[in-house]
Amino acid sequence: MQNRLFFGLAFLSLLGFIAFISYCKKSKSNHIPLKVLFGSSQKSRPQISPDGSKLAYLAPINGIRNIFVKTLGKDDDRAITNQQQRDITNYFWNFNNNEIFYLQDKAGNENWHIYSVDLNTKRVTSITPFEGIRVGVISYKKQFPDEMLISMNKRDPKVFDVYKLDLKTKDLKMVVQNSGNITDWTVDEYNKVRAAKAAKEDGSCDGLVRDDENSPWRKIGNWGLEDDAGNYFFGFSKDGKFIYASDSRNANTSRLIALDAKTGEIQKVIYEDPNFDFGSILRNKDTGKIQLVTIHRAKKEWIIFDKELEKDIKLMRKLDEGELGLCDRDKHDKKWIISFIKDNGPVSYWLFDRETKKSEFLFCNKPELKKYKLAKMEPISFVSRDGFTIHGYLTKPVGSVKNLPLILNVHGGPWARDFWGYNPEVQFLANRGHAVLQVNFRGSTGYGKNFVNIANKQWGAKMHDDLVDAVDWAVKKGIADPKKVAIYGGSYGGYAALVGATFTPDLFCCAIDIVGPSNLVTLLNSIPPYWKVRKRMMELRIGSPETEKEFLESVSPLFKADKIKIPVMVVQGANDPRVKKHEAEQIVTAMEKNGVDYKYLLFEDEGHGLLKECNRMKFYEAAEKFLAKNMG
């Protein structure tokens, strides 16, 4: 009897050992290499030439993303740029089809310049070769292929004037001078600057319009601070009588409206949702009519106004699974480059011909991901301690259910939000065994102006309470192990990570701060010159360093650094123009003085985030070791 029991137990032990080995092999086979997750995409961001004959896309050369071009229907792919220091991320075609423009800064300083590259000679020309200035593209229309309107703070670093760029001669001419408080410019269908937004001392914004380039500006409305987050001018109607705008006045959510350009009266509410702000609009390039509107609920949705387009979109949706997106279209609106975003796989890109109804698969951005089983991202919601519905996303490791180590991954902004879809950072954390909780805490955009406004002067207070409530929700649901919760984020999320380590040090076992401020006084006193026009808005939403210094210090992690008793990783770009290096150095010095277990990574060739592949790899290798050591 004892022998049978012994051999039975031995047999069960052997089965357990075999199962364990099998599990280890399976786990190892699904261990996604950092290079696959954070290396540059094999191909990404396709753009079609205006005449519909060529395709451009980004692909790495020695880890740095460059522009490649091919003829549609041929295998003649070729690189037309050879950047070796900084990725190209933002580019677009010249309407002559033989030239491409791209914007690039230096080492993360966010002083964007415009460059052009000739497809035939590969010659790169710097169109705005001025040191210490920042450029933005205001308008480039197919009806005016030889001119582009750009904004530039060349005359005064604090404000942006409008310049006309002659694309034949590359000459620049100022066409509108900033009066000192203009934050945004809007052109009509004839490429003339006819509308603007002007910031006021009380934090509100005036809408300005003029009849033509020689007419005086006149005020057509005022948007208070409470409506500021959801207020945009999208452009004029074809006849110039109306301005399409996003407007939350007399409503909670931002609505798409037609605004009378003479009187400023709302002539029509084109689209609204009672719970969510609408996102963007797509207009016919010839008629100017609205074709569709996007809105982000738990996922992005398209509200279609064009019946012919609706038929085509039904055909597009049959091509693949996931969230449909429009990447680009030719000047005739016949050929569309579309994408399908999934939460558990790479982005796929397709060419769809609206005339022939034929489609062609172009590429996936990261085909290597198909070898691995990725985690699903689940939309979630809970009620905060003071009664507000908070939305977010939960991603759990493949095959895992409950009592998991949890990463509270906090988004930046804070006037932004997390979205559903493939996120390499989330997949990395889930693949290494963590549940990942992303929270659209109060102050996040997309959920109406009330949700933004209840976050005014709540940094480190009720905004942090929402994050704490999210952790409590995950623990009560049995998802998270309360002894293994980390807080992790970038920009505002980095600040939140430091708040977690100082304000609620018993809740978290470690924290990772990426380019987050540690002292709100020094943050607000060191903003870039071109942010000063909106400084009053920031002070009303965060606090004034002149009149509320004590209050700002009370919600700054630096002044509670003696409370830190968990390991902290701090990551900083040396050239960050928004959150200066001093923000990281202050908290690191305090932690060193207090004997805190910390790790500091400073990247000399980065700004507000990590763009270069080699730097991303270095950080995530360090983060993986840091989390493994401190979360088990």
CATH no. for residue 418?
Answer: 3.40.50.1820
pLDDT category at 400 given cuts 50, 70, 90 is confident
Which residues partner with 69 through β-bridges? 56, 78
DSSP class of residue 587 equals H
On whether both 560 and 587 belong to a single domain, the answer is yes
Given a cut of 80, whether residue 18 has pLDDT beyond it is no
Given a cut of 90, whether residue 13 has pLDDT beyond it is no
The Cα–Cα gap between 375 and 159 comes to 45
381 burial via Cβ count (<10 Å: 0-12, 13-18, 19+): exposed
Give residue-wise pLDDT tens across range 200-226: 999 999 999 999 999 999 999 999 999
**Burial per residue of 145-157, b for 16 or more beta-carbon CB atoms within 10 angstroms, e otherwise:** bebbbbbbbbeee
178 part of a folded domain: no
Residue 491 is a catalytic residue: yes
> Tokens at residue 351, please?
């060419």
Given a cut of 80, whether residue 6 has pLDDT beyond it is no
| Domain limit, last residue, from 316, 342, 370 | 370
507 part of a folded domain: yes
196 part of a folded domain: no
How far apart, in Å, are the Cα atoms of 161 and each of 150, 164, 472, 529, 570? 8, 10, 49, 14, 37
The answer to whether residues 542 and 484 touch, using CB atoms and an 8 Å cutoff, is no
pTM (predicted TM-score): 0.94
568 part of a folded domain: yes
Provide the sign of the torsion angle of the four alpha carbons 489, 490, 491, 494, taken in this order. Answer: positive
The Cα–Cα gap between 262 and 166 comes to 31
On whether both 600 and 455 belong to a single domain, the answer is yes
pLDDT of residue 507: 98
267 part of a folded domain: no
Given a cut of 90, whether residue 186 has pLDDT beyond it is yes
The Cα–Cα gap between 584 and 581 comes to 6
Instruction: Tell me what the mean pLDDT of segment 555-569 comes to.
Output: 98
Give residue-wise pLDDT tens across range 77-124: 999 999 999 999 999 999 999 999 999 999 999 999 999 999 999 999
Residue 472 is a catalytic residue: no
The answer to whether residues 568 and 595 touch, using CB atoms and an 8 Å cutoff, is no
pLDDT category at 554 given cuts 50, 70, 90 is very high
Considering the candidates 491, 513, 518, 556, report the single residue annotated as catalytic.
Answer: 491
On whether both 548 and 410 belong to a single domain, the answer is yes
The Cα–Cα gap between 573 and 490 comes to 12
On whether both 382 and 508 belong to a single domain, the answer is yes
Determine the angle formed by the axes of helices 424-431 and 613-631, rounding to 10 degrees.
30
| Domain limit, last residue, from 351, 370, 389 | 370
Give residue-wise pLDDT tens across range 343-375: 999 999 999 999 999 999 999 999 999 999 999
The answer to whether residues 290 and 238 touch, using CB atoms and an 8 Å cutoff, is no
On whether both 426 and 495 belong to a single domain, the answer is yes
Report the domain count for the chain: 2
The Cα–Cα gap between 29 and 33 comes to 10
Shortest CA distance to 207 belongs to which of 186, 180, 179? 186
% of the chain beyond a pLDDT of 70: 95
pLDDT category at 142 given cuts 50, 70, 90 is very high
On whether both 389 and 332 belong to a single domain, the answer is no
User: DSSP per residue over 293-304, as a string?
Assistant: EEEESSSEEEEE
The beta strands (E) that lie in 84-178 are given as: 90-93, 99-104, 113-118, 124-126, 135-139, 147-152, 161-166, 172-176
265 part of a folded domain: no
Task: Tell me what the pLDDT averaged over the chain comes to.
Answer: 94
On whether both 474 and 608 belong to a single domain, the answer is yes
On whether both 413 and 351 belong to a single domain, the answer is no
pLDDT of residue 14: 41
pLDDT of residue 23: 39
On whether both 362 and 408 belong to a single domain, the answer is no
Q: Is 375 helix (H, G, I), strand (E, B) or coil?
A: coil
Where on the phi/psi map is residue 65: left (φ > 0), alpha (ψ -120 to 50), or beta? beta
The Cα–Cα gap between 243 and 259 comes to 5
pLDDT of residue 29: 61
pLDDT of residue 632: 78
pLDDT of residue 7: 37
pLDDT of residue 228: 84
Considering the candidates 105, 247, 328, 576, report the single residue annotated as catalytic.
Answer: 576
% of the chain beyond a pLDDT of 90: 94
The Cα–Cα gap between 283 and 200 comes to 31
> Tokens at residue 553, please?
């210090």
pLDDT of residue 401: 78
Give the H/E segment covering residue 186: strand 182-187
Given a cut of 90, whether residue 438 has pLDDT beyond it is yes
295 part of a folded domain: no
**Domain extent at residue 492:** 373-631
User: DSSP per residue over 322-359, as a string?
Assistant: SEEEEEEE-TTS-EEEEEEE-SSS--EEEEEETTT--E
> Tokens at residue 589, please?
């010095």
Q: Please give the single-letter amino acid code of residue 134.
A: R
Distance of CA 244 to the CA centre of its chain: 24
Number of Cβ within a 10 Å radius of residue 418: 23
pLDDT of residue 230: 77
Residue with tokens 């990426």: 514
| Domain limit, last residue, from 319, 344, 370 | 370
On whether both 347 and 383 belong to a single domain, the answer is no
37 part of a folded domain: no
On whether both 311 and 360 belong to a single domain, the answer is yes
Residue 184 is a catalytic residue: no
pLDDT of residue 217: 97
On whether both 511 and 608 belong to a single domain, the answer is yes
